[in-house]
Structure 1
Amino acid sequence: MRTQVAIIGSGPSGLLLGQLLTNAGIDNVILDRVGKDYILGRVRAGVLEEGTVGLLQEAGADARMHAEGLSHDGFSLAFDGRDHRIDLFALTGKRVMVYGQTELTRDLMERREKTNGVTIYDARNVEPHDFGGELPFVTYEKDGLSHRIDCDFIAGCDGYHGISRKSVPEKSIATYERIYPFGWLGILADVSPVSHELVYANHPRGFALCSMRSTSRSRYYIQCPLDEKIEDWSDDRFYEELRRRLPDVHAEALVTGPSFEKSIAPLRSFVAEPMRFGSLFLVGDAAHIVPPTGAKGLNLAASDVHYLFEGLRDHYLDHSNSALAAYSGRALKRVWKSVRFSWSMTMLMHRFPEGGEFGQKIQEAELDYLTHSTAAAASLAENYVGLPY
């Protein structure tokens, strides 16, 4: 098989890149080691920047998002028993869209099928080859047979644990990492949210987040030690702990109900650079991970797609390679700013074991500053809604 762009990974970044390329008339094939149902069964984030919304519109996969997604003008910082709203729209003129990643992925899959895009699921032992030379190709196994796809470029959209970054020679890549000393215990439940906007809570017992996927489905998190066991947390225990960490106005509004998903996620910041190795380009989680505190993971993947699509489009349609040559530098400049923001939000909202009373006082001072200074609130809002591409 021959294609112009081989895309490894059919998560949101791979599907979005593939659809933008298809719309531009650039041939591409997507490969994934797992099946469609498995991908749609993964529970992920759901706060979209305007830039991400715009890319979905450009891909033609935005109709259901605009019909069912929740447009948010702000969010709340809760601390000291009080609720403080950050008015995103008043401060920046921009909003965010709450729309689950699973639904976004489904929309992109359906759009790809309607436009006859090729996706090969259950492709085992996918591996990129010769991306440092002039004849790159990808091999995989399916139904007991070995296959090869010759291509011009390879896009590694296969996540943190994928083969794309692992295929890069160790001496050619630098990695930077911060592991946080706690995790997020999260549940999904079909109950109405405590508020029509997200609530980020800083409390002496630890961080809490009240989010949602719709007006009838809530996503709640609490900070927990890394050695916690999920089986030790009944729904009742979780709701009781969540209620303790919220201001009274939200604690009293909390509607409880059985959870249908419960998990503990560790938090890390991770960046690999550069993001280009010959004809291989790393995209999204293959190149960087951020803690979910700033809602940047999916949005960073989308901005990578924007820069890479721009480069590939210019290469094929305008016979210019300048945007492709600039991909890694442009993407990393935005990545590091988002990593900084996610790190700062994590430091601000969580209780760190080593922080002590001094650390707590610094958090209190910063929260007070953010909620009483228009300039500080504007900086927070600008980063939250998403920096320009």
Structure 2
Amino acid sequence: MQIDSGDTAWLLVSTALVLFMTPGLALFYGGMVRRKNVLSTLMHAFAALGVISLQWVLFGYSLAFGTSHAGLIGGFDHVGLSGLAGTARGTVPALAFCAFQMMFAVITPALIAGAFAERMRFSAYLVFAVLWTTLVYDPVAHWVWAEEGWLFEMAALDFAGGTVVHLAAGVSALVCSLVIGRRTGWPHERHQPHNLTMTLLGAGILWFGWFGFNAGSALAANGLAAMALVGTHAAAAAGACGWVLVEWAQRRKPTALGVASGLVAGLVGITPAAGFVSPLAALVIGFLSGAACYGAVLLKERLRYDDSLDAFGVHGVGGLLGALLTGVFARKALNDGGQDGLLAGNPGQLVPQVAGIVAVGLYAAVVTFGLLKLLDKLMGLRVPVPEEREGLDATEHGETGYAL
């Protein structure tokens, strides 16, 4: 197929938009921690931009999208991105597709970092991020998105990463919070966000970048991209409303943090469905995601596990719900590459959706648990208590976020 300049231009812009999401995530997370840990939290995202980009170029892309081995993992035919220059994937250059997918791989381990903010060694995080991406993200991306992946062949629908990115990261975040343990003093000591203006700015950048995340996944400048873009925006707006309405009813006050968290929950929920559902269905998915993720955050408080920045409550629960609702609202008439869902007369589509949720969730949980236990024995996961109380900016990085 001939390379299309319009499709290529849109994919290159989308790649830049998705890259911008990682600094946006850094600000979103950075504002929610205490002042003494703001730089260490920002570093989780910016370090992923460096080390995961290297991993992707060297062998990550090949494992995710190389020649399939039993539908489970790619081969080493594209190590160092060999064989991609001058070739096409559909109507875009293979290298443009590779760069676009790289940005997905980069942000995913950075999402997990929200679970263990303020207490994990930076050296342990770097090793964990590379190993997790290699052993969890790359295989799961192959299962779902490679044409010979076993979940792809089952017709499990995931347009832009509800299971690959958000469910895998969210479940892994839950495991991290349980294995690494609570922050010192939590929940008896208050761990209040130090700069919610930063968090709101980060949420706005994520909203902006998510247009590339979802509409870019059409891999073309066409009607499908337009539908995904409109659905993405509608779901974000509905997610913010859903979260805040439930919060307002339950806590008697609508909060800025609730708006930021709700819009991200809506974006997470629509991610697997964006290219398969109507804008009206996207509104429903976004609203339900905002309300459900708020409930998950409340449940965390009752179960007393310390997922510092609600990585599981937003990304795990939102990704799971979005994947399931994709099987409810999908319509093949909107996308020839999709399937009809429950409301279009095909309840059987829920089978591959549930299979994908269970397989990805269990696999991510087991491998993450094993990695954490191994790294804890080899190098230690947590900083000592005195260093945690002083703050990771000073003890891990020798810096301070503010000199006022």
Which has the larger strand fraction? 1
> Normalising TM by the smaller chain, what interval?
under 0.3
Structure scoring higher RCO (CA < 8 A, sep ≥ 6) equals 2
More helix by share: 2
User: Based on CA coordinates, which of the two structures has the bigger radius of gyration?
Assistant: 1
